[in-house]
Homo-oligomer: A and B are copies of this chain.
Amino acid sequence: MSPEDITRRLEIDALYADYAHCLDNDELGAWPEFFTEDCAYRITSAENFEAGLPLGIVYATSKAMLVDRVMALRKANIYEPQRYRHLIGALKIGAAEDGVVPVVANLIVVRTMQDGEMMLFAAGRSVDRLVRQGEGWKFAKKDIVLDSRQIDTLLSIPL
């Protein structure tokens, strides 16, 4: 493994950690900053993903749409007492092609309700394409592919 490979791997590992903490700390204003201007972001089901269906439950084709989404969420949710905790693992980092690095990661999110009850909220994988921009890496594409089809409750927050 070359020094460049080692650094790339550790930088990408750190990126996913930052991403998890951004969401879990409910710092949604910073969330779009993880993406490129013309990013594609989607939350979809494994069935739709495997069937090649383009649309998802959440679908954005630019960072501006992510910003809009955050603002809409902020207006809609006056008070959100639940907390989310992401575990992201099994980062499978592919070879760069034309500066784009494909990454697939496993994802489990635990939700804790106001009364303290914990539940599995989401399980799936994140199928991503990363590009280097300036000092760090950005998501040019992120497909959150959920194992579960009970996705109505997922509308409210980014994953």
**Hey, which bits of chain A sit against chain B, CB under 8 A?**
1, 6-7, 9-11, 14, 16-18, 20-21, 24, 46, 83, 85-93, 104, 106-108, 110, 112, 114-120, 122-125, 147-151
Contact = CB atoms under 8 A, between A and B. Distances in A.
A118 B124 CA distance: 11
A90 B147 contact: no
Contact of A90 (B88, B112, B114, B148): B88
A9 B6 CA distance: 10
Contacts of A87: 87, 89-90, 106, 108
A110 B90 contact: no
Given A1-B11, A110-B123, A123-B110, A20 B89 contact: yes
Contacts of A88: 89-90
A122 B148 CA distance: 18
A112 B148 contact: yes
A-B complex: 9 closest residue pairs judged by Cβ atoms: A116-B150, A112-B147, A20-B90, A17-B90, A83-B147, A118-B120, A116-B148, A1-B7, A85-B123
Contacts of A90: 16-17, 20-21, 86-88
A118 B125 CA distance: 14
Given A83-B147, A89-B20, A123 B118 contact: yes
A9 B149 CA distance: 36
